[in-house]
Amino acid sequence: MDRLTAAEIQALQEALDDEYHAWATYDQVISDFGELRPFVNIRDAEARHAQALTELFTRYGLPIPTNTWPGRVRRYASLQEACEAAVAAEIANGEMYERLLGATQRTDILTVLSNLQQASQQRHLPAFQRCAQRGTGGRGAEHHRHRERRGAQR
């Protein structure tokens, strides 16, 4: 097993920290506003992304950092604000992966980083853009508002 370069280790650490941060942020949105899409689906995807990265840490004998983000992420005043922030975060995520892809030539690392970038840009970003454009958290938020109105009518 070849040793990773310092740049490769840094790239893996940065990618994992970013996935941990995204998971904690979306988990906080869910705690604040309820089990709403797209946050629930994408939080679960972020956990899978972190797992893909931790498998690389294990393969290369690196210690797996713990997620220190829960309880330390920004909280949003509204679901709309959270959707808009998620759009910006996914754009930044795509740019980060573009930069990190230049840190290695190892096929296994390139594959994972590329897959994570594609998931962010092709699935997460469009979902959050729809969320921000509608001014809601998707169908889940519409259901939530409907339940609130029904409760107010009682």
Which token pair is 32?
């604040």
**Cα–Cα dist 110/99, whole Å:** 12
pLDDT at 116: 97
- Mean of the pLDDT values across residues 89-112? 96
Q: pLDDT for 24-61, tens place per residue?
A: 999 999 999 999 989 999 999 999 999 999 999 999 99
Mean pLDDT of all residues in 119-147: 72
pLDDT at residue 154 is higher than 50: no
pLDDT 10s digits, 74-93: 999 999 999 999 999 999 99
DSSP calls for 47-76: HHHHHHHHHHHHHTTPPPPP---TTSS---
Q: Look at residue 2 in the predicted model and tell me its pLDDT.
A: 79
Domain 6-153 has CATH 3.10.129.10: no
Closest of 53, 41, 55, 52 to residue 13, by C-alpha: 53
